[in-house]
């Protein structure tokens, strides 16, 4: 067997394995020689990402078994890079997410265009182990590297007319080939009510398993809202807008009877074409029983009060 030892400069950030407690990832990387070579390249992580392998843990972390790095990075929904689960990890391979800026506009006192690195440097980065529940009926447990969405938004000083926040994905069909097909209205847009956005749970994720965010998972920065169906967690964000009125969102525009603005995980409100009572945990043996889906994906203690008195069948 030929062993190819790469020069440091040839090793991409995505190939760097942090010194970590991630047994799944270790198993994935099996050959100790490869692991050793990669650990030596820690110097290639950008300065602001050097501490990622030893990040503080969020108080909301689930202790459920993590999905493997391989599951998390090869079973993706990211229509900008193809409509099947196995498309994004191949079609996003050459996407270069650096440098990257985010434009902040609308109802706030400190709008502007900000370099992503500056945003991350000011943030308090932690590890957030959250369940992700897709509206299609599968789920995963993912160790994100990220920071509080609320903390970031406050820095832009939203004003009293800011009732909603809109997020927009990059629009560039030369870099996102899936945008050449009109399977959705591009760019992808999502939104939250301001009190949802200011809740302690939502994060901006910039990595997973202690590494920079893989392209197929929404590099370089994506939203993660753990009590809502996966499609609310918009990827590769270039714009944030504070709004007085509810933003029009991609899946709601595409099929309004099937996907509402709220899209809270709710086993009691079925999708018109299938039940939402159960979910299949990616990576588990096919003969294992499905898991019962929990209201708000199990995060009700943190978020149920946001919807007190609302008819969740109407506001689905």
| HSE-CB of 267 using CA atoms within 13 angstroms | 12
**C-alpha dist (Å) from residue 149 to 81, 88, 201, 309:** 25, 25, 8, 25
| C-alpha torsion sign, points 232, 233, 238, 243 | positive
Nearer to ligand MTE, 41 or 91 (CB): 91
Considering only 68, 217, 249, 266, the residue that binds ligand MTE (CB under 6 A) is 217
| Under rule CB under 6 A, residue 249 binds ligand MTE | no
Identify which of 219, 264, 261, 223 has the alpha carbon closest to the alpha carbon of residue 243: 261
Name which of 41 and 73 has its Cβ closer to ligand MTE: 73
Using the rule CB under 6 A, is 281 a contact of ligand MTE? no
Name which position in 108, 134, 152, 303 contacts ligand MTE (CB under 6 A): 134
User: Interface mask (CB under 5 A) for Mo ion, residues 98-137, using x and -?
Assistant: ------------------------------------x---
Choose among 99, 198, 84: nearest CA to 149: 198
- Token look-up 């270069």 returns 96
Q: How far apart are CA 144 and CA 133, in angstroms?
A: 15
Query: Minimum CB separation from ligand MTE for residue 132, in Å?
Result: 6
- Per CB under 6 A, does 219 bind ligand MTE? no
Q: Which of 82, 158, 230, 260 binds Mo ion (CB under 5 A)?
A: 230
Instruction: Report if residue 220 touches ligand MTE, rule: CB under 6 A.
Output: no
Give the residue with the Cβ less far from Mo ion, 132 or 212. Answer: 132
How many residues make contact with Mo ion (CB under 5 A)?
4
Q: Which of residues 51-90 bind ligand MTE (CB under 6 A)?
A: 76-80
The 22-61 contact track toward Mo ion, x by CB under 5 A, reads ----------------------------------------
* Contacts with ligand MTE, residue ranges (CB under 6 A): 76-80, 132, 134, 169, 188, 217-218, 230-231, 233-236
For Mo ion, the binding residues (CB under 5 A) are 77, 134, 230-231
């Amino acid at each position: 067997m030929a062993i190819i030892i790469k020069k440091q400069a040839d090793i991409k950030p995505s190939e760097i394995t942090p010194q970590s407690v991630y047994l799944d990832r270790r198993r994935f990387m099996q050959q100790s020689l490869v692991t050793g070579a990669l650990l030596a390249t820690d110097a290639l992580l950008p300065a602001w990402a050097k501490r990622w392998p030893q990040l503080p843990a969020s108080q909301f972390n689930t202790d459920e078994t993590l999905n493997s790095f391989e599951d998390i990075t090869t079973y993706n929904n990211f229509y900008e890079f193809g409509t099947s689960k196995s498309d994004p990890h191949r079609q996003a391979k050459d996407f270069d997410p650096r440098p990257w800026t985010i434009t902040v506009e609308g109802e706030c006192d400190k709008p502007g265009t900000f370099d992503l690195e500056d945003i991350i440097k000011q943030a308090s980065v932690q590890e957030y182990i959250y369940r992700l529940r897709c509206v299609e009926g599968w789920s995963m447990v993912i160790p994100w590297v990220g920071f509080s969405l609320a903390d970031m938004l406050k820095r832009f000083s939203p004003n009293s007319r800011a009732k909603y926040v809109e997020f927009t994905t990059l629009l560039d069909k030369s870099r996102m080939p899936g945008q050449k097909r009109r399977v959705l209205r591009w760019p992808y847009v999502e939104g939250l009510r301001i009190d949802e956005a200011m809740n302690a749970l939502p994060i901006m994720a910039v990595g997973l398993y202690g590494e920079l965010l893989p392209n197929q998972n929404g590099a370089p920065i994506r939203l993660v809202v753990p009590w809502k169906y996966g499609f609310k967690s918009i990827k590769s964000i270039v714009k944030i807008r504070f709004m007085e009125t509810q933003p029009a969102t991609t899946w709601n525009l595409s099929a309004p009877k099937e996907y509402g603005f709220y899209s809270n995980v709710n086993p009691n409100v079925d999708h018109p074409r299938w039940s939402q009572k159960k979910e299949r945990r990616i990576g588990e043996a096919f003969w294992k029983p499905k898991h019962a889906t929990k209201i708000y994906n199990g995060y009700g203690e943190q978020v149920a009060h946001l919807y007190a008195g609302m008819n969740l069948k109407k506001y689905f």
